[in-house]
Amino acid sequence: MAQPKLIAVAGASGLVGSHITREALARGYRVNGTLRDATAPSKAPYLMGLPGAADRLQLFSGDMSDEAVFDAPLKGADCVYIACLIPVYAGPTGKRAVDMDDAEGERDIIMPTVNGCLNIMRAAIRHGVKTIVICSSTSSTNPIPSVPVKNEVDHWSDADEQRRAKKYTSATKTVMEKAAMALAAAHDVRLSILLPTGMYGPVILPEHLQGNPQVWLKRLIESGEGRHQQIPNDSSSMIHLHDLAALFLAAYEKPTASGRYFGVYDSWHWQEIYGELQKLLPAMQMPAPMDGTPVTPTGFDTTRRDSLGVPVRDIPTLLKDTVDWLKTDPFKA
């Protein structure tokens, strides 16, 4: 009997990477996962506790700044997921991205992530991996002037404009995606890039409760303040983490998949989001009402996303699923 195919997940302990790992194990794959410290007691036990992990998950220590450390986890892999490119908002000295000049932003924010992504890709290419899937962000899809409905093929952010606005963190994704696409094309590698934003649903590691939508939803459940003191006149895009992981696996499993795909269900105005949450939590602390006429939420053309064949939960469902899960007091001692 042939062994299951091996896939590698760079950033297996991250919010996205851990869900890719979970989904891949559920589908019967062998998984090599990388994280900075494969023995970290706050991370490794939760990954190794996933169904199927005892037999089919191996963890490796590695940092994306060192191309050589990926040789072992990528050897024999059929696909690599690059899910370790988390947003960076400060440099190594603690200086915030918004306080940097262009030279500092390029050196300390943009290039470490771009080079880290290319390091992993070069290691994959060296080991004959022909399919690479990258987790990026919708921040690379904001053209100027803005458009009412965005698509993944035509609409790109302007990295130079992002730099001028000191949005070095956002510029990172734009620069990284284009560099990755050029490298993949030069080596005949099938590359898909998923573009998520607000990610809801159950999480796998306790630390993921600290910096994602789950943290302020938990505060609302506990009668505290949510994300805002006043409802902002803005919208937010969302997806369920389980659906996002399924999109990542589909980008690998569908042989014709390549290029950019939105990893979002849709975007709602914050007024609608808080209204839906109040249905779930009638006693919650509501932010102060919004000022002005509501702006139109960001529009997405989901044709390419839907071509991957993954059913995606709507916003009321993903909010309810997250709230219901948080009410169970996950990770309680």
Contact 235, 268 (CB under 8 A): yes
- How high is the pLDDT of residue 135? 98
Q: What is the pLDDT along the chain (333 residues), one digit of tens a residue?
A: 678 999 999 999 999 999 999 999 999 999 999 999 999 999 999 999 999 999 999 999 999 999 999 999 999 999 999 999 988 899 999 999 999 999 999 999 999 999 999 999 999 999 999 999 999 999 999 999 999 999 999 999 999 999 999 999 999 999 999 999 999 999 999 999 999 999 999 999 999 998 889 999 999 999 999 899 999 999 999 999 999 999 999 999 999 999 999 999 999 999 999 999 999 999 999 999 999 999 999 999 999 999 999 999 999 999 999 999 999 999 986
Nearest to 232 by CA among 270, 200, 197: 270
CA–CA distances in Å: residue 242 to residues 192, 291, 305, 329: 18, 35, 15, 19
CA 124 to chain centre: 20
Helix, strand or coil, per DSSP, at residue 52: coil
Cα of first residue to Cα of last residue in the chain, in angstroms, is 41
Tokens representing 17 are 């990477």
**In 63-222, which residue ranges form alpha helices assigned H by DSSP?**
71-74, 102-104, 111-126, 159-164, 168-186, 213-221
pTM comes to 0.97
Q: What is the pLDDT, as a whole number, of residue 282?
A: 96
What is the pLDDT at residue 1?
A: 62
Please give the pLDDT value at position 326: 96
Domain ranges of the chain: 6-199+237-266+299-313
Q: Which of 191, 273, 283, 287 has the alpha carbon at shortest distance from 238?
A: 273
Peptide bond before residue 145 is cis, with ω within 30 degrees of 0: yes
Q: Specify the DSSP element, H or E, that contains 30.
A: strand 30-35
List phi, psi (to 5°) of 91.
-85, 180
Residue 193 burial by CB count (10 A; 0-12/13-18/19+): exposed, middle or buried?
buried
How many Cβ atoms from other residues are within 10 Å of residue 227's Cβ? 17
* Topology classification of domain 6-199+237-266+299-313: Rossmann fold (3.40.50)
Which pLDDT score is estimated for 211? 82
